[in-house]
Structure 1
Amino acid sequence: MFKRLFWIGLGVATGVLAVSKAQAYVKANTPDQARQFVLGPDQDHVAMRTLEGLITEFKTAQRTREAQLNQQYSGIIKD
């Protein structure tokens, strides 16, 4: 079990390192207009905007599914 956790942690750390290096390379070697087209005007906080978007999308899907389940099962259980 500890081997598995070690390798998962190593994989995550390698992935984070690779992504950060790739982003630094893209920022250093692309023209500003191209970066703004791809990354948007706020290029320093792309990761936070992406994470916020993912969390918002997840919460929206969760609320939608919860509403569907509540509607589906609200008539079955009666006190």
Structure 2
Amino acid sequence: MFKRLFWFLIGFGSGVVAVSKAEAYVRANTPDKARQFVLGPDQNNVAVRTLAGLLNDFNAVRVGREAELNDKYIH
């Protein structure tokens, strides 16, 4: 079990490093208009906006599924 956890953490860490390096490369080597098109106008908070969007999508699906199950089994 510890081997799996170790390799998972190694993979996760290398993924974080790769994404941060790729984002730094894009910021350094693309014109401002292209960066705004790809990353949006608020280029400093891309990760926060992405996580917030994923959380909002998850909650919307969760609420919809809960309402569907309530209609099916309660009413």
Q: Greater helix percent: which structure?
A: 2
Q: Deviation at 1:38?
A: 1.0
Q: Deviations over 1:13-66 (max 9, x none)?
A: 000000000000000000000000111110010000000000000000000000
| Aligned position for 2:41 | 41
| Aligned position for 1:62 | 62
Give the secondary structure class of the aligned counterpart of 1:41.
coil
Give the secondary structure class of the aligned counterpart of 2:41.
coil
| Aligned position for 2:28 | 28
1:12 equivalent in alignment to 2:42: no
C-alpha separation between the residues in 2 aligned to 1:63 and 1:35?
35
Q: What's the TM-score, normalizing by structure 2? A: 0.98
Rg: which structure is higher? 1
C-alpha separation between the residues in 1 aligned to 2:47 and 2:34?
18
Tell me which stretches of 4 or more aligned residues in structure 1 moved more than 3 Å: none
Which structure 2 segments of 5+ residues have no match? none
Which structure 1 segments of 5+ residues have no match? none
How many residues align? The count is: 75
RMSD between superposed Cα atoms in Å: 0.5
